[in-house]
Amino acid sequence: MQTPTLGHYLMPNLRSVRLDLYTWDLVPFLRLFLNPGLVNVDIDFPDDDPHIYRPATISLIPTGDLTHLRLGSMDDDDLSMDALHNLLDEASETLRSVYLDGQPSMAVIEKLLQLPDLRYLDVQLPGTRISPPAVVFPSLEKLAVDYSKGVSWLHILQHIPSLLELVVTYAGSSSRYLQILGSSLCAGVGRTLVSLKCSSEKEAPLTEAGLRPLLSFGRLMTLELDTLCIGQRCGTQLDDSIISELAMALPRLTSLTLGGIPCKTSTSDVTVTGLVALSTNCVDLDFLQLHFNTKDIVSRGTRANSQTHRFTCKLRTLSVGAQPLPSDHDDILLVTFAILHIFPHVETISSAEGNWDRVGRGIQLFRDAPRIVPLPTTN
């Protein structure tokens, strides 16, 4: 049981506290804020850590009703980890959300794995293999992990029964990592996952081999695979075939990001055919970021505009980044009508290239213009 602090008496009704401890001089005043009824605790520690103050501060946090815990700039010294372990142990029945900025000890990781009602976790995992208990995160719905040292932790995904959202930051080959991730998810949470977001810290290609294992997650509504392009070659090495397979396998998608902000090259093998497949199969799609071949959309724009099929995709935002686009007025009109035909509800073209701004303005003009209705014929 924790010793009563001044906060018990001075601020008995305070339920949420956000403290940015830019200096350790503030630590003695924490007793003014920390009362037993606190539900949300958010503390950023200063960098110049004298070690003793960090564990002392953690030990002051009341645990009776603690539901949400965020600790920024954590250190992995033994005293801090012991204090954190004790806090998690005391608050194990109430904690729903934990964010730790820093590398926790294995003892803390093992304690986190067993929190019975934890719904959200954002943590940096160690490079050593974790031995999970019989049940890992029995109530966890969202997991965000910063992991750049390998794939030794991925096996725990097989043991999480109800994960809905997964956010991963990693380093290395995108395709290799996604293949291993996909295999781990297939053996575990792939059947429940509705949101998957992965980002690479290094230049690494996104290929069909990396994307294919994820196509079995039919419940996905959000898929974001953020990779960096490599030199003069587009880092998103996909084609119409795999995009068409994705569109048919994941029809519930509302947000799709394949690759980072589209680059200045136009070497992608995704063409109008891939865009049509997405529009046809993913009718609830609202956001799309995809590297596609802009030369193809210019050369085949007339064919796309001449199709009689009426697309119903709900896409409102298309992110095109810095993908090149000809400045010729006729080509701009061609691309504008082609995009409006494939994605009739598009409102925003997110770009870093001037000519796409002209396409965006054209889309606004033609979408807002009154439709021409033929006069009824008379006999």
User: Rounded to whole angstroms, how far apart are CA atoms 136 and 205?
Assistant: 32
CA distances from 111 to 85, 104, 259, 270 (A): 7, 11, 35, 46
For a pLDDT cut of 70, what percent of the chain falls above it? 77
The confidence score (pLDDT) of residue 338 equals: 87
**According to the model, what pLDDT value does residue 131 have?**
66
Check pLDDT > 70 for residue 229: no
Report the pLDDT averaged over residues 1-15.
63
User: Mean pLDDT over all residues of the chain?
Assistant: 80
In-domain check, residue 68: yes
pLDDT of 187 strictly over 80:
no
| pLDDT for the residue numbered 15 | 86
Q: pLDDT tens for residues 34-56?
A: 777 889 999 888 776 566 778 88
Q: What percent of the chain has pLDDT over 90?
A: 25
Residue 144 lies in a domain: no
Instruction: Report yes or no on 87 lying in a domain.
Output: yes
Q: CA 106 to CA 82: how far, in whole Å? A: 11
Instruction: Look at residue 372 in the predicted model and tell me its pLDDT.
Output: 44
Number of domains observed in the structure of the chain: 1
pLDDT tens digits, 329-344 = 888 888 888 898 899 9
Mean pLDDT of 202-229: 84
Q: Give residue-wise pLDDT tens across range 130-143.
A: 666 655 778 888 98
Greater pLDDT, 227 or 193: 193
78 has a pLDDT exceeding 80: yes
pLDDT tens digits along 84-106 = 999 999 999 999 999 998 888 88
**Is the confidence at residue 287, as pLDDT, over 60?**
yes
pLDDT of 300 above 50:
yes
Q: Which residues of 58-82 are buried (b: 16+ CB within 10 A; e: fewer)?
A: bbbbbbeebbbbbbeebbeeeebbb
Mean pLDDT within 303-309: 55
Is residue 190 included in any domain, yes or no?
A: no
Q: Which residues of 272-281 are buried (b: 16+ CB within 10 A; e: fewer)?
A: bbbbbbbbbb
- Tens of pLDDT, residues 264-275: 766 678 988 999
What pLDDT does residue 331 have?
83
Q: Quick: pLDDT tens for 151-177.
A: 566 777 777 878 888 888 776 556 677
**pTM, whole model, 2 decimals?**
0.82
Asked, for residue 50, whether it belongs to a domain, the answer is: yes
Whole-angstrom distance, CA of residue 109 vs CA of residue 87:
13
| Residue-range definition of the domain harbouring residue 82 | 1-124
Phi and psi at residue 33, to the nearest 5°: -105, -30
Does a structural domain hold residue 12? yes
Residue 84 lies in a domain: yes
Q: Is the model's pLDDT at 149 over the cut of 70?
A: no
Helix axes 329-342, 354-368, angle to 10 degrees: 60
pLDDT of residue 195: 94
Asked if pLDDT for residue 375 goes beyond 50, the answer is no
The pLDDT score that the predictor gives to residue 48 is 65
> Would residue 304 count as lying in a domain?
no
